[in-house]
């Protein structure tokens, strides 16, 4: 089925470990986004990408790395995980369209860092 898929859905890891969250979309949307959702903070933008090989920082980028070698994939890496990065992470995509098309979201990855 077409859409946006995130993997894994759940992940438990330890502080200091590297962990990568995957995001794949089948629409060929130009824009992709990573958010984290925390109680009391709503959704906060971590990084976004306007096209392959083009990425930019969002509101809370520290401690995260992204890459976008292919249009359909936008992995998010925590290079050295910290407890404060325990959160639910959402990936989203958007076509290149300035006429206010909505973003489409994946089902999220629940990440726990012990």
Whole-angstrom distance, CA of residue 3 vs CA of residue 14 = 31
Residue 1 binds other proteins (CB under 8 A): no
Among 1, 2, 7, 3, residue whose Cα is nearest residue 75: 7
Residue 102 binds other proteins (CB under 8 A): yes
3 state SS of 17? coil
Residue 106 binds other proteins (CB under 8 A): yes
Residue 46 binds other proteins (CB under 8 A): no
How many CA within 13 A on the CB side of residue 101? Answer: 12
Site string for other proteins, 3-42 (x = CB under 8 A): ----------------------------x-x------xxx
CB 2 within 8 A of CB 106: no
CB of 105 to other proteins, least distance (A): 4
Question: Footprint of other proteins on this chain (CB under 8 A)?
Answer: 31, 33, 40-43, 45, 48, 50, 56, 58, 90, 92, 94, 96-100, 102-108
């Amino acid at each position: 089925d077409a859409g946006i898929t995130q993997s894994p859905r759940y992940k438990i890891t330890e502080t200091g470990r590297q962990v990568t969250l995957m995001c794949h979309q089948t629409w060929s949307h130009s824009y992709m986004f990573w958010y984290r959702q925390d109680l009391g903070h709503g959704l906060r933008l971590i990084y976004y990408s306007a096209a392959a090989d083009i990425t930019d920082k969002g509101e809370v980028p520290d401690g995260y790395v992204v890459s976008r070698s292919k249009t359909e994939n936008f992995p998010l890496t925590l290079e050295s995980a910290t407890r404060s990065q325990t959160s639910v992470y959402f990936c989203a995509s958007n076509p290149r369209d300035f006429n206010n098309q909505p973003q489409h979201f994946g089902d999220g990855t629940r990440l726990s860092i012990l």
